[in-house]
Amino acid sequence: MEPEKKQLPIAIGSGIAAAVLATGLAIGIPTIAQASSPSPTTTVGVEDGTNDGETADDQGVEDGTNDGETADDQGVEDGTNDGETADDQGVEDGTNDGETADDQGVEDGTNDGETADDQGVEDGTNDGETADD
C-alpha cells in the first residue's frame, strides 16, 4: 500500500498544474488574439461619402446640397435668390428688385420717374415737356 500513498500526492499535484495551465490559457489566448487584431479605423483626410465633418462640399466640391458652400456662394448663379441673385450681379431679368431696366437707363414705356418724355422724347402727351414747350 505504500506505493499508492506516493501516487496520490503526485496525482493531486498534476491536477492542480493542469487547472493552472487551463486557467492561464483561458485568460491569455483571448488577450493575445485581441492585441493582434486591430479595430477598424477611419482614415483622416479621405472623403468616402459619409458625413463625418469632412464632406465633399467642405472640400470645395459642390454636389447640389446646401451646406454653407453652395454653388451660388461660389459665384455661380443658378436662379435661386440666396443673396447673390442674377439682378445683384448686374443682370436684368425683368423683375423689380431695386435694379430694374428703367433704373439702368433703359426706357420700357412705364412711368417710373424716368419716362420717355423725361428722356427728351416727345410723344404728344402733356407731361411738363410738351411739343409746345
pLDDT in tens, 22-77: 676 667 666 665 666 566 555 555 656 566 666 555 555 555 555 555 555 555 55
Is residue 102 within 8 Å of residue 108, measured between CB atoms? yes
CB 74 within 8 A of CB 62: yes
| pLDDT band, very low/low/confident/very high, at 81 (cuts 50, 70, 90) | low
pLDDT digits (tens, 9 = 90+) for 118-129: 555 556 666 665
Higher pLDDT, 69 or 5: 5
Is the confidence at residue 14, as pLDDT, over 60? yes
Residue with cell 500526492: 9
Gap between the Cα atoms of 24 and 108, Å rounded: 95
Q: Containing H/E element for 130?
A: none
pLDDT at residue 18 tops 60 = yes
Give the tens place of pLDDT for each residue, 88-110.
555 555 555 555 555 555 555 55
Question: Which pLDDT score, from 0 to 100, does residue 116 have?
Answer: 54
